[in-house]
Copies of this chain bind each other. A is one copy, B any other.
Amino acid sequence: MPRFWGKLVRIKDALEKAVNTIKLDVNIVEESIWHATGLILARDLYSPMDLPRFNRSAVDGYAVRSIDVAGASPTNPVVLKCKGIIETGDPPDKYGIISPGEAIEVLTGSPIPPGADAVVMYEDTVRKEDEIHILRPVSPWTNITRQGEDIGKNQLMFRKGTILKPWHLALASAVGLSKLPVYERVQVGVVSIGSELVEPGKPLYGGKIYLSTDVMVKQLIEQLGFTTTKYYGIVPDDLDRVSKAISKALAENHIVVTIGGTSVSDKDLIPMLVERRGKWIIRGIALRPGRTTGVAVIDKKPLFTLSGNPIAAWVGFEAFMKPLLHLWLGAQPEPYPAIRARLSRRIVNPVGYRSYVRVLVRKEYNTYYVEPYRVKGSSIISSLARTHGFIVVEEDLEGIEAGEEVEVFLLNPSNIV
């Protein structure tokens, strides 16, 4: 147990407590349907109109009165007089009402003229100039998409909390909405802590190392789609300087995340800083790796604490920060692509921890086999970049036996051969 950390809580309890204790203060804004993919709907959305707005042909053919063609057959066709063509975009009453014995040519998407109640497809007709020979009967409403069939006026389209996809925006546009009420992008300040860190591109000396976790975490956050990030650079292990950097980041963002400064050395500043300036809500989670993951409140805003260790930070983000950002806005995180695979070697789990095990997958005769990737500690970055995915082992399990089928969440599916 790291010396600065409290009793580790289970991830489920950590999420529940954090979502109930901390409120994320973001505004509701109107965003254009052209730029709203990935944003989260802030109110239930109802359709302002019927879609389609009029009865519409679902095929190319002739709009008819179904009663007129009830007895039609190839040997005994019904002959109708064609009044013209209604193209898509034309008004439905271009030729007035269809009277008995009349037909009007329509295309897929054309409005159905008043009086008509069905469309006969080209294939079931023979045209001789203005005479249309109908070869088959049609029942009422055949080949017609009825007014409001896609969505009706005042009908619920999407619930608050929906993560908007391109097809949601297509439907919103189709009912005439040019903007939607969404939560503004969540601004996240990212602060790197560690005197040992150097930005890539600069020379290394002594025991210094290049940044890595920070580069990943910043882009993991941006990939959520409803966030923006601002990077505050590397802050050395100095309590005052860390405190100042966090103050600035908190003032300029909705949320701040610190990377590093959380482990057991006397130099680890985040626990000291939180005790001085704010309040822990979650101080350590039973994650393996990732137990120094936490969230505090300073200056009334959430401060996430992620490990400087890349794998522990990734687990802290995946297991805690990502779902929490969704939950605060009433949304559900998207599932990872996953496959089912047979475990080829036993995994041991320390009961009480949820473990994230990086794995390699191989395919043999249409069966996937999966085995843990052998690494020391959780500092090996290539274990995320060069494996295929990961398995989650829940807290109550002592492990998973070889031969069992498990779900593998795919990090780098294209590496699988």
Instruction: Show the binding face of A for B, using Cβ within 8 Å.
Output: 33-34, 37-38, 51-54, 56, 58-60, 86-92, 107-111, 145, 149-151, 157-158, 162-163, 165-179, 194-197, 199-201, 204-213, 215-220, 222-223, 231, 263-265, 267, 308-310, 314, 331-332, 334-338, 340, 376-377, 379-382, 384-386, 410-414
8 new A-B pairs (CB below 8 Å) besides A59-B377, A166-B216?
A58-B376, A58-B377, A89-B194, A109-B308, A166-B217, A175-B200, A176-B200, A337-B337
Q: In the complex, A171→B212 CA distance in Å?
A: 6
Known: A34-B215, A171-B212, A173-B200. Is A207-B166 also a contact (CB below 8 A)? no
Known: A89-B195, A170-B310, A178-B199. Is A107-B207 also a contact (CB below 8 A)? no
Q: In the complex, A178→B384 CA distance in Å?
A: 19
Q: In the complex, A289→B231 CA distance in Å?
A: 45
Q: In the complex, A410→B163 CA distance in Å?
A: 14
Residues of B within 8 A of A37 (CB): 219, 222-223
Residues of B within 8 A of A309 (CB): 108
| Contact assessment for A215 and B151 in the assembled complex, using a CB-CB cutoff below 8 Å | no
| Contact assessment for A210 and B175 in the assembled complex, using a CB-CB cutoff below 8 Å | yes
How many copies are assembled? Answer: 2
| Contact assessment for A334 and B332 in the assembled complex, using a CB-CB cutoff below 8 Å | no
| Contact assessment for B204 and A176 in the assembled complex, using a CB-CB cutoff below 8 Å | yes
Known: A37-B219, A176-B201. Is A150-B89 also a contact (CB below 8 A)? no
Q: In the complex, A336→B413 CA distance in Å?
A: 11
Contact partner of A340 among B176, B331, B334, B340, CB < 8 A? B340
Q: In the complex, A180→B86 CA distance in Å?
A: 56
Known: A231-B34, A381-B51. Is A88-B207 also a contact (CB below 8 A)? yes
| Contact assessment for A145 and B58 in the assembled complex, using a CB-CB cutoff below 8 Å | no
Known: A212-B173, A377-B59, A385-B171. Is A34-B207 also a contact (CB below 8 A)? no
Q: In the complex, A263→B87 CA distance in Å?
A: 12
Q: In the complex, A169→B163 CA distance in Å?
A: 26
Residues of B within 8 A of A168 (CB): 385
Residues of B within 8 A of A213 (CB): 170
Q: In the complex, A209→B173 CA distance in Å?
A: 10
Known: A145-B380, A210-B174. Is A219-B169 also a contact (CB below 8 A)? yes
Residues of B within 8 A of A204 (CB): 53, 176
> Smallest CB–CB gap between A89 and chain B, Å?
3
Q: In the complex, A87→B169 CA distance in Å?
A: 53
Known: A314-B167, A331-B414. Is A177-B200 also a contact (CB below 8 A)? yes
Residues of B within 8 A of A386 (CB): 157
Q: In the complex, A207→B54 CA distance in Å?
A: 8
> Smallest CB–CB gap between A287 and chain B, Å?
17
> Smallest CB–CB gap between A110 and chain B, Å?
7
Contact partner of A107 among B33, B87, B264, CB < 8 A? B264
Residues of B within 8 A of A86 (CB): 207
Q: In the complex, A340→B157 CA distance in Å?
A: 27
| Contact assessment for B414 and A173 in the assembled complex, using a CB-CB cutoff below 8 Å | no
Residues of B within 8 A of A179 (CB): 201
Residue with the greatest number of chain B CB neighbours at <10 A, chosen from A54, A219, A310: A219
| Contact assessment for B381 and A89 in the assembled complex, using a CB-CB cutoff below 8 Å | no
| Contact assessment for A215 and B170 in the assembled complex, using a CB-CB cutoff below 8 Å | yes
> Smallest CB–CB gap between A25 and chain B, Å?
24
| Contact assessment for A109 and B170 in the assembled complex, using a CB-CB cutoff below 8 Å | no
Known: A37-B223, A173-B211, A385-B170. Is A206-B90 also a contact (CB below 8 A)? yes
Residues of B within 8 A of A149 (CB): 376, 380
| Contact assessment for A223 and B338 in the assembled complex, using a CB-CB cutoff below 8 Å | no
Q: In the complex, A369→B414 CA distance in Å?
A: 29
| Contact assessment for A379 and B145 in the assembled complex, using a CB-CB cutoff below 8 Å | yes
Can you list 30 contacts pairing A with B, beta carbon distance less than 8 Å?
Answer: A37-B219, A37-B222, A38-B223, A51-B381, A51-B382, A53-B204, A58-B376, A60-B263, A86-B207, A87-B267, A88-B196, A88-B209, A88-B265, A91-B205, A91-B207, A107-B265, A109-B308, A150-B379, A150-B382, A157-B386, A166-B220, A168-B385, A170-B384, A171-B381, A173-B210, A334-B413, A335-B410, A336-B337, A337-B338, A338-B338
